[in-house]
Amino acid sequence: MKEEIISLSQKARNNIFFKNKIELRCNCGHSEKITYYEFLTGGEFNIGQATSTVSPFISETIYDETISVTPLYLSKRCATCDEELTVVFPIALEALILILRSNPPDPQMYG
């Protein structure tokens, strides 16, 4: 699964979505920003434990629909104090895969 995410992310590198940034902030005051692309293609993230949550898209006819949500984590050492920083990717694995798979193919393929 992890390899699939990395490979899909590399193909989607021109997607504007991947230019979003995540900030890592340490207690010592050090902070740095990495892009979604760096997070996903760096290969340093971990896939967390899936949890079930109630779907935000509940309609009047469906009451107890639950969806599976799997978090992605990245651990990184602080460049200043060597403390381990953990950041959670803002989008769950399941939603991320949908975004990655819906990415249009590289236009150069049709050049």
- Least distance to Zn ion, CB of residue 34, Å: 15
Stretch that binds Zn ion, among 31-39, 40-48, 52-60, 70-78 (CB under 5 A): 70-78
Give me 21's structure tokens: 């940034």
Q: Which of 10, 55, 80, 86 binds Zn ion (CB under 5 A)?
A: 80
Residues 22-41 that bind Zn ion (CB under 5 A): 26, 28, 30
Contact in structure between 47 and 2 (CB atoms under 8 Å): yes
Q: Which of 4, 83, 94, 106 binds Zn ion (CB under 5 A)?
A: 83
d(CA 73, CA 87): 6
d(CA 103, CA 105): 6
